[in-house]
Amino acid sequence: MSSNRLFGTFCLSSYLLSLSYGTTFLLAMTLRAHGASEADAGSVISTAMLSTFLAVIFSGHLSDHLGAAKSVAVGAVFLAAACLGFAALPGLGVAMMLFGLLLGFGWGVFYTLGPIIVAMLIEPERRVKYFALLSGCMMTGIGTGPLLGRVAQALGYPVEAAFVVAAGASVLGGVMFLLMAPRIQQHQSAVAVSRITPVAARSVLSSKAAFAILMVGLGGAIFGGLSSFQTSYAALLHLDYSLFFIGFMSAVIACRLLVAGFIVKRDPYVMACVLTALIVLSVLMFMYWVASPGGYLLAAIVLGVGYGLTYSVINGLAANEAPAGQTAQALLLFSLAYFIGVFGFPLLAGKVIVEAGMAALLQLLLVIALANWSITVARLAWRRRRAVAVA
């Protein structure tokens, strides 16, 4: 198998595995149809945060024991089991929480080891492009997940059919990783999987990289809050929720594949400020401007541009501002912060919707978006003051 063909197979497998996470955005609608609430959906999604923590921290050990590709294949089994569980037991209970844990473990292993496999296969000077390709494939899968629910409904099937399709896709993706394992294993010794330690964590979090780590957590909360309950938001306005995922997914993919290479070469402090301002604008659009399918689609596109490009910029800041020799640990903490936001925030978001309504959730998201933007403004002001003092 040639290198290009191997990477193409890797990207296809990554797309298939990402479908499973994307279908979790259908949980609120599925549980609501069976008598549960948005708060219950948030509880299920947030249980994934616990197992994701363990998966991210111990994925290096698992990779050293089984190999990176086989470890991802194990994660695929957990993803498939979680999706089948969501389809078979759509009511809230201990079992649903267990399936949330399975989802978190499977996604955490894949999300952590996927970029490491890219680093194994691709030489350093070409990795930025291939990281972007991986990110694009993953976001395509995530965005396709909820669209499966819309297609199932259009064909007369229950929404739960989307979970079954995602489970099958995860199994197929896992098998493909197993088939790639021997070839990937040849490259494994070229890249060491760096494990996090308390000392390294303290060192990273006391450096300037902590700002990017905090920002990705806040951004993940906005993404997780909007995506997980978009079916509820669309239902209130009598809109088709698929428009959100089409607009958001298209914008993120296009930006990460076509624009990110240009953006990351610009001043990261300025770019982060501009892009987080777009996220603020998108939340304001969801609050006050969305009233038609066109407006709904545009708000999703603005969010996708702001969120998609901000992630690329602050990912680079986390790596570049980490203490010497601790870049890998900084990126690991970056992933952990992202998972806290994207899996942890829905627990609070669901309760806010039940107790105070969707408008209250959007107000909370606006506060988070403004806090995220204010970090970039403060960093620019601090840099300018420092430059004046030096001059």
Domain boundaries, the chain: 1-193, 198-391
**Residue 335 near residue 111, CB atoms below 8 Å:** yes
Q: Is 29 helix (H, G, I), strand (E, B) or coil?
A: helix
Backbone φ and ψ for 85, nearest 5 degrees, come out as -65, -45
CA distance 18 to 16: 5
The single-letter DSSP state of residue 234 is: H
Residue located via tokens 């496999």: 117
> What is residue 186's predicted lDDT score, i.e. its pLDDT?
74
> What is residue 128's predicted lDDT score, i.e. its pLDDT?
61
> What is residue 312's predicted lDDT score, i.e. its pLDDT?
77
> In this structure, which amino acid lies at residue 62?
L
Q: Can you list the residues of the chain whose pLDDT is less than 50?
A: none
Nearest to 60 by CA among 103, 102, 117: 117
Domain 1-193 in CATH 1.20.1250.20 = yes
What is 198-391's CATH number, 3.40.640.10, 3.40.630.30, 1.20.1250.20, 3.90.226.10?
1.20.1250.20
Cβ atoms < 10 Å from Cβ of 179: 14
Nearest to 169 by CA among 321, 16, 23, 22: 16
**pLDDT tens digits for 365-382?**
999 999 999 999 999 999
- Helical residues (DSSP H) of the chain, grouped into ranges: 3-23, 27-33, 38-66, 68-88, 94-121, 127-154, 160-185, 198-205, 209-228, 230-237, 242-254, 260-263, 268-288, 293-320, 327-339, 345-356, 358-390
List b or e across 322-359, with b for residues whose CB sees 16 or more CB atoms inside 10 angstroms: beeebbbbbbbbbbbbbbbbbbbbbbbbbbbbeeeebe
Cβ atoms < 10 Å from Cβ of 53: 18
CA distance 90 to 83: 10
CA distance 68 to 193: 10
Residue located via tokens 């790639």: 180
> What's the token pair of residue 79?
């993803």
The single-letter DSSP state of residue 91 is: S
> What is residue 74's predicted lDDT score, i.e. its pLDDT?
94
Nearest to 296 by CA among 242, 251, 350, 252: 242
Cβ atoms < 10 Å from Cβ of 389: 7
The single-letter DSSP state of residue 221 is: H
CA 170 to chain centre: 17
Please tell me if the domain spanning 1-193 has the same topology as the one spanning 198-391: yes
Q: Is 122 helix (H, G, I), strand (E, B) or coil?
A: coil
CA distance 276 to 299: 14
CA atoms within 13 A on the CB side of 129: 7
Q: Is 292 helix (H, G, I), strand (E, B) or coil?
A: coil
CA distance 199 to 283: 38
Distances (CA, A) of 297 to 129, 173, 231: 28, 31, 14
Backbone φ and ψ for 197, nearest 5 degrees, come out as -130, 160
